[in-house]
Structure 1
């Protein structure tokens, strides 16, 4: 394997890119996508991420030039599901505030888990067959995927590593994704994950739509996540026969299936198109914040959005809370107490979240369901209402995030027992009335 430092990328979100492995110059056909004979005797294959008839602005496809087409495999067979599910009726609805302690990573000596075996579904809504909805998973793994890859027929994966770096090999090339970075593997793209020890993270899976950059509106041309900071892999291939069999795992209609083939699927010598995997470093996010008074809505921290058919309402938003300045005057600066018509799933990559300095830990999570009240704990409230206001840096050394959705999420059976913090509700019990009948 080449050194990780030698991995190369191209920049730009949703751009039309072209790439060929430098070992095969001229592998991209000139003037047409599917010549009678491709250079180097390669096969042409198109990967479509949208309907053929979508408008040009939303039409997503890439042409892959590969040693063998991806159709060269034996029939798919059902395989064990583990804790991956989209059965949202396996438990009764749970409206309470939920918080999870850091999800446990089993040591290698106890059990070897790769990325696929380490997938655990926490919650979700909708149905992949109707192409509408989402699922939230966590992954805990300790070993690399050996002679097997994964692809998702149901939707896109937004992967948020929290502990340990991931070397993700895709048909388009390789991506090194570390904590404080994210990676999106779009529907149908085959990939394999190498890890370098105990590894953990979060996944937002969306059905039927793709992630895009949010509109900026009155913000203007610059702000939030800039398109040029999104990185796409450069073509890389391996021409490798696997006599003992290579396993292709497919997630289809919420179930896992496996097929065997005798060669590596990462045999794409060249490609071009606008339907690719990509990664983004969260430290590149340009924060927009309140500079006068009051606490701005978290939507100003949106990195990526997956729009629904209703204007202004998302199937899912990926929102972050990065280091920033707090300068608002005469203002309760932490997140306000609120009830929301959206569902809010939060995770912590590193550091300490400002509104929950105790109990909400890196590698853990929380879920505040639709219209369930939530907000700062009692300790945070007291600090924020009695402390002297001055310009200060907040969230330094911290990165928390939110998967926000307009859907009402159901929690899985695994999610209601794994690492659940039974005492979460107690963080609000010390809140007391300050009402005295007199105006301040």
Structure 2
């Protein structure tokens, strides 16, 4: 077994990854003892012009090398002669399936320890991974294969029927797209069936003296809550038209009001967890204006490696994940950065540990986070494009914020009633004042989410 920083004298090992950018990064990290080549994605698939699934024999698939990948496969075969093979495709079911096809086409046994897995592309992690290969996980391969067979069974059989039924060419059906289309149709039907219901609210501005005013909303009339278009309407006062609203306005006006209650209480707002794939896409859309596909392309580049003075290094962990889990080492590093950059008052007593709320979430990968949180956005800005910097900044801030203290607000509610023996009208005003930024110091107050 090689020690870290020690290389074989000749390129005795072939390492196969998906993309040329990833191959370039890993080649620099592993050195001359390894030859790193890219498969350029999937090398084999079901045939293009036939079903390729034997439904009579347990849905057995038939695979063939993709036309545009035949030169790639031949080049890999030549490169693999007389060499040890390691497969370092992405750590998910698609990557596992690519690795299984590569091993099969190169005449290697997938049960041999030839699969290398890592969730961040940094020299230390990559070098450790190549020294600890494992067999290809057949369960992951079967999962990808089942998904692909279902795609083919649905799409291959239904798409021609759609085209025939609607007398249009190039109509398609799919395992996912057809279900998504149905959800869209059902939602559109709900929107079309919705009948808006008119309602009115009353707003008042109360003089407090010394040129101060307090805006407040009518809250109750003779103990009956005013319905404001949300929640249950039963048992509440519904101002259904302008005439009713104006009539009530005349009753409300001209009366004297007094403050009957002022209640202030502290409200805590906890930080959001670190990013998953979907929450990264949502935040990049709302904060940066990036589409989901653009976000994933940029994240792919940040994951696969950036040239820095200390060498090529991936700046973020694997970007396709549903998990919010974070390694203990990364949590400790985040706490050290928070204390150094923001101060001890922003550091909670212990690390925040997040868990997925939904059952069945794949927890093989960590949340999306910087590979080294000490590598601040400003420290790497000149080595990144503008869009890479902005996305890395977003990921870094979200991860750091997830380990900071709650934001604290003073939330105040004021009730005003008309003066008299039997007050009829109650107005309500509420507001909050931020008294301690907490995690917002890093995450900002753009959407506070």
Aligning the two structures, in what range does the TM-score lie when normalised by the shorter sequence? under 0.3
- TM-score of the pair, normalised by structure 1: 0.22
- TM-score of the pair, normalised by structure 2: 0.22
Hey, which of these two has a bigger chunk of helix by percent?
A: 2
Hey, which of these two has a bigger chunk of strand by percent?
A: 1
Greater Rg over alpha carbons, structure: 2
Q: Which protein, 1 or 2, shows the higher relative CO under an 8 Å CA cutoff with sep ≥ 6?
A: 1
